[in-house]
Amino acid sequence: MFRRAVAYSDRTGHGASQNPLKGKSARIVITMAMPAPFYRQHLGAHSLRNMRRNVAGFLGIAPIRSQVIGRVEALSPAQRRRLIETMHEYGRAAK
């Protein structure tokens, strides 16, 4: 979630980005029901590409790491707990 004047500005009068988040990094995590390799290979990871280029890239965010987690409905409760803990670890490491 980004707020005007925090993540972007239209100070130029044309809505052009000034790369306000340059120097910041991001991790995009996508979960889905389909297998992740199918999403990447056959569908071209379209939403991931859009987030990288049209949101994070537009704002000057780099590096942008990504993770696609497929077949989440097939994960056991223990696997889900490990996955959530991994996401927590990513968040703690980013501080």
User: pLDDT of 42-86, one tens digit each?
Assistant: 998 999 999 999 888 888 899 999 999 999 999 999 999 999 999
> Does pLDDT of 22 surpass 70?
yes
Check if the beta carbon of residue 19 is closer than 8 Å to that of residue 60. Answer: yes
Contacting residues for 76 by C-beta, under 8 A, at least 6 apart:
none
Give me the domain span that covers residue 75.
26-94
Contact 28, 48 (CB under 8 A): yes
What DSSP state is assigned to residue 73? G
For residue 62, tell me if it sits in a domain.
yes
Q: What's residue 2's pLDDT?
A: 66
Number of H helices, E strands in the chain: 3, 2
Is residue 8 in a domain?
A: no
Count structural domains, the chain.
1
pLDDT tier at 20, thresholds 50, 70, 90? confident
Residue 50: its pLDDT value, please?
93
Q: Residue 63 contacts by C-beta under 8 Å, 6 or more apart in sequence?
A: 25, 26
